[in-house]
Amino acid sequence: MRIILLGPPGAGKGTQARRLMEKYDIVQIATGDIFRENVRTETPLGKQVEVILKEGRLVPDSILTEMISERIDRSDCRNGFILDGFPRNVVQAEALEKMLKEKGLCLDCVVQIEVDDENLIERISGRYSCSSCGEVYHDKFKKPSRPESCDKCGDFGKFIRRTDDNKESVRTRLEVYHTQTAPILPFYRSREILKSVNGMAGMDEVTRQIEAVLKAENGCNRLSAE
């Protein structure tokens, strides 16, 4: 299964990707996480993208396409993958299509998670995660059962907040989403693999909706059957 989770910052892509990963035994490829890890470990790539991430702008397309191509080739992607945060503009969507074709692969489904902008601000400003295992939490919508303790891995005192989850950066990221990322919706609609779910619902309900969509949809098979 090869899918894309598409949606504005804070829509719940990471949260849902982690759930799907377990259910379908596929890997999550979260470009934002990859960049943040590079910034943290001060790699040359990390140094190159640090300011861009902080300001909420997009990293240059050439960096993304090379990174994704190399990532998809790794053996853990054998069963498939969930792209979370890529593609983010039409150039990247076109590059992905070409790249998959060259590798003899195709997409099963593009799932759009729809959430209003006002709710996104609240979601992003309350977001934090476990630095040990990556589990995502929220001040109001997803608290750990014991304070400071991760429900998933049990580690204590490992919660962190993203430095780009501040008001200035969020405003830029939302604007970037509407002007640069939203235009890829018609791109996938025209390929008949775009499905939408209501991201305003609770996390479990969103998961149910995505699973229902994935059960019904099989763009890959349909394309190869043509």
Interface with ligand ADP by CB under 6 A: which residues?
7, 9-15, 31-32, 35, 52-53, 56-59, 64, 85-88, 92, 123, 126-127, 136-138, 141-142, 173, 202-203, 206
Nearest-approach distance from CB 5 to ligand ADP, in angstroms: 8
Q: Minimal CB distance to ligand ADP: which residue?
A: 32
Q: Which two tokens stand for residue 180?
A: 């640069």
Question: How many helices, marked H, and strands, marked E, lie in the chain?
Answer: 10, 8
Nearest-approach distance from CB 139 to Zn ion, in angstroms: 17
Which of residues 105 and 133 has its CB atom nearest to Zn ion in the complex?
A: 133
List beta partners, residue 149.
156
Residue 2 annotated to the active site? no
Nearest-approach distance from CB 153 to Zn ion, in angstroms: 3
- Name the maximum alpha-carbon separation found in the chain: 53
Q: Read off the DSSP letter of residue 72.
A: H
* The only residue of 90, 91, 99, 133 in contact with Zn ion, by rule CB under 5 A: 133
Q: Tell me the residue length of the chain.
A: 226
Residue 162 annotated to the active site? yes
Provide the 3-class DSSP secondary structure of residue 134.
coil
Nearest-approach distance from CB 30 to Zn ion, in angstroms: 16
Q: Read off the DSSP letter of residue 149.
A: B
The one catalytic residue among 158, 162, 189, 191: 162
Residue 71 annotated to the active site? no
Angle at 210 (CA atoms; ends 117, 27), nearest 5 degrees:
100
Q: Is 215 exposed, middle or buried (0-12, 13-18, 19+ CB in 10 A)?
A: exposed
Residue 57 annotated to the active site? no
Which of residues 92 and 112 has its CB atom nearest to ligand ADP in the complex?
A: 92
The one catalytic residue among 13, 18, 19, 195: 13
The one catalytic residue among 2, 18, 36, 88: 88
Closest C-alpha to 202, from 12, 22, 17: 12
Positions marked active-site: 13, 88, 127, 162, 173
